[in-house]
Amino acid sequence: MKRVAFVVAGLALVVGVIVLRDTDGGNSTLPTAPPPPTKLKPYVSDQVLVPSPQGRPATPANVVARGGHHKIQLNWSGEAPAYEVKWGSKTKLVTRPGTQLNGLENEREQEIEIRAVDSFGQRSQPARTKATPRADNAPYTFVDRFDSPDEPDLQRWRLAKRTDCARATSGDEEDHDRLVISSSCGTRAVTLRSRTPFVRSDDESRFVIETDAPSTGGKLLLDLVPGPVSVQGDPVLPGAIRATISTDVVGNSIVELVPNGTAAKPIPAAVPGMTVRWEIVLTKTGTQITRDGEVVATSPFVPEWHEATALIGFAALAGDRIRAGVDLIGYRTARSDAPPNVPTPQVRIDGPVSSTHPIPDVTSGQLRIALIPSRESEPVTAVRINGVEVPLRPAVPGTPWKPGAEYPAVADLPKEAFTDNLNVQLVTQERIQVTHTDVELTGPKSPPQRQAGTPLVDAHPVLADPVPEMLDAGGQPIENGAAFNRGRVVLEVRVNALDSAVAGLAGFEIRLDGNHIATVPTTVDGPAAAGRWRISLNTSSLTAGPHAVEVRAFSTDSDVHPETGYVPFLLKP
């Protein structure tokens, strides 16, 4: 009985705690974890040797500064693991010899200092330069520079995504005067669709985007599709042009052009956060892709179509979150305008019928839908919208209907569907996956349609993951899982990140089998940002069998979460 009474009392106590937390208005006195340290004291245990600061790094050389629209691009030469860039009252740390300063006032000169930063936070003497951002007034038949506080203008743009895993918004902080695409949708492209048709001219036509995408481990897709399509799937649709730019985890970029494209020259390594101007150029003899004015891929393909839908896709290569800044999208083509637009209705697929209310002044409408069949079957050729059956046709003639492949289709809306809610049913007995829907309603010309929003992925710098590796006494890597003799070994710790800015590194702690054996501070003149350190360990007193080293890196910013890396190793008997 005592045992039962104890359990009941314990349950009552737990319930009491839960009620207390739910009703105290957020002023709980329960203990919380202390914030991570932002300054570390050096510590070394017996049988451990750690490196120490040496001479200061060399001053960055060959600085080149170029002013652009609300931005300045900087490049320099140097061999340091990181650099500190100062302008006005702002400072940022970068890990490559180049960066871009955003959110600047046009025609206002900026004085800039660049210092090399070694792995212990030692600074070089500064390299100084000046530059002035300049307004971009180049002529286009259609252009959006995304300068307004609430972007994008829904009269001009639509964002296609499978779920609420992505946003197109005005940027925050230094990105406040550019469009930011933020996504946690993984490897599936999030697509920005222009409502303004791309209409070829008789001579040369250009589709232009200035963006810092693709970031490290990302992909940028530029499509011109001869039909009312909102998504970018595989394979590329008949008659369409696609440029794919991919950047791997070390910054190497490749460009692919479909159809029949060949690379014209190697692509330089990407500088994180640096805007690049990409163009699809259509001529009478073929298609080109240019990067900052240089041709990087060509194709003999000359499209037969006169008008196309322009799509810009952003994706991760390995499921990471992405944040891409867009400074400009424009056409140099024959003149065209976005069709008049009215608010977009909600679409419900094969669900309970919802109430509908007419939208006034609608003159026409179109349902755009993407389908994936589960097995070999006849294409779906009809759809029921608000109870009225209408034909469904491929958005691009000749698109194959096959299992697992996305099939974009369109249906003209009956007047009964000019409402705030659309109830849509596929007229088929087959099992079909619907991956996307959107609706185009046209009506009288209206002013720009904007709505406030914030990016899903913020711009706050983070620490890179520390990467520990075991080396033998000669400095050669020990193969994973390979057992080695007890004695002197080397632990190499690397911290590096290909981001537009990184958080300051206060240092790192090392634990062996859970025991604290060393702390290495990295703030001699200020925080480091990246580097490589080699720590000597004597494993003679350890037992045979498996062991593990944990390295935990801390930032000088208490709001930045520490990052941890692990490496196991095996000692012979």
CA distance 158 to 433: 22
Instruction: Kindly state whether residues 304 and 199 are assigned to the same domain.
Output: yes
Which residues, including other chains, have CB under 8 Å from residue 264's CB and lie 6 or more apart?
Answer: 295, 296, 297, 298
CA distance 499 to 50: 28
Instruction: Kindly state whether residues 265 and 356 are assigned to the same domain.
Output: no
Is residue 31 domain-resident?
no
Out of 442, 476, 508, a domain closes at 442
86 HSE (CA, 13 A, CB side): 11
- Within 10 angstroms of residue 410's Cβ, the number of other Cβ atoms is 20
How far from 141 is each of 153, 197, 274, 330, CA to CA, in Å?
Answer: 17, 11, 26, 8
Instruction: Kindly state whether residues 118 and 175 are assigned to the same domain.
Output: no
Is residue 150 domain-resident?
yes
Query: What's the CATH number where 173 sits?
Result: 2.60.120.200
* Strand 241-247 to 218-225 pairing: antiparallel
Out of 404, 426, 442, a domain closes at 442
Is residue 303 domain-resident?
yes
Residue 445 has pLDDT above 80, yes or no: no
Quick one: pLDDT band at residue 452, thresholds 50, 70, 90?
A: low
Instruction: Kindly state whether residues 84 and 193 are assigned to the same domain.
Output: no
Q: Name the residue with tokens 């703030």.
A: 523
Residues 288-339: tens digit of each pLDDT:
999 999 999 999 999 999 999 999 999 988 767 889 999 999 999 998 888 8
Per the CB < 8 A criterion, the answer to whether 503 and 95 are in contact is no
Is residue 517 domain-resident?
yes
Tokens of 412: 């003209």
Quick one: pLDDT band at residue 509, thresholds 50, 70, 90?
A: very high
Which of 120, 131, 127 lies closest to 85 in space, CA to CA?
127
Instruction: Kindly state whether residues 124 and 156 are assigned to the same domain.
Output: no
Per the CB < 8 A criterion, the answer to whether 410 and 383 are in contact is no
Task: Please give the backbone phi and psi of residue 160, each rounded to the nearest 5 degrees, phi first.
Answer: -105, 130
Is residue 461 domain-resident?
no
CA distance 468 to 493: 4
The kind and range of the H/E element at 4 are: helix 2-23
Average pLDDT of the chain?
Answer: 89
SS3 state of residue 62: strand
How far from 285 is each of 116, 288, 456, CA to CA, in Å?
Answer: 48, 10, 42
Query: What is the rounded average pLDDT of the residues 185-200?
Result: 93
187 HSE (CA, 13 A, CB side): 5
Residue 283 has pLDDT above 90, yes or no: yes
Q: Which of 311-325, 446-460, 532-546, 557-571 has the lowest average pLDDT?
A: 446-460
Instruction: Kindly state whether residues 491 and 555 are assigned to the same domain.
Output: yes
- Within 10 angstroms of residue 570's Cβ, the number of other Cβ atoms is 15
Tokens of 64: 């080149």
Please report the pLDDT score of residue 448 as a whole number.
63
Residues 340-386: tens digit of each pLDDT:
877 788 898 887 767 788 988 898 999 999 999 999 999 999 999 99
Please report the pLDDT score of residue 80 as a whole number.
97
* Strand 563-571 to 545-555 pairing: antiparallel
CA distance 258 to 242: 5
Q: Give me the number of domains the chain comprises.
A: 4
Instruction: Kindly state whether residues 163 and 307 are assigned to the same domain.
Output: yes
Identify residue 172 by its one-letter amino acid code.
D
Residues 111-166: tens digit of each pLDDT:
999 999 999 999 999 999 999 999 988 899 999 999 888 889 888 999 998 777 89
Out of 332, 359, 380, a domain closes at 332
Is residue 13 domain-resident?
no
Please report the pLDDT score of residue 31 as a whole number.
53
CA dihedral 411, 414, 419, 425 (to 10 degrees): -50
Instruction: List the Cα angle 409/181/212 in 5-degree steps.
Output: 115
Residues 10-53: tens digit of each pLDDT:
323 232 322 223 334 444 455 555 677 788 999 999 989 999 99
Instruction: Kindly state whether residues 153 and 257 are assigned to the same domain.
Output: yes
Is residue 5 domain-resident?
no
Is residue 160 domain-resident?
yes
Instruction: Kindly state whether residues 413 and 493 are assigned to the same domain.
Output: no
Please report the pLDDT score of residue 32 as a whole number.
53
Q: Quote the domain boundaries for residue 124.
A: 61-131
Residue 55 has pLDDT above 90, yes or no: yes
Instruction: Kindly state whether residues 277 and 410 are assigned to the same domain.
Output: no
- Mean pLDDT is highest, among 182-196, 338-352, 506-520, for 506-520
Instruction: Kindly state whether residues 559 and 520 are assigned to the same domain.
Output: yes
Query: What is the rounded average pLDDT of the residues 447-456?
Result: 67
Instruction: Kindly state whether residues 125 and 152 are assigned to the same domain.
Output: no
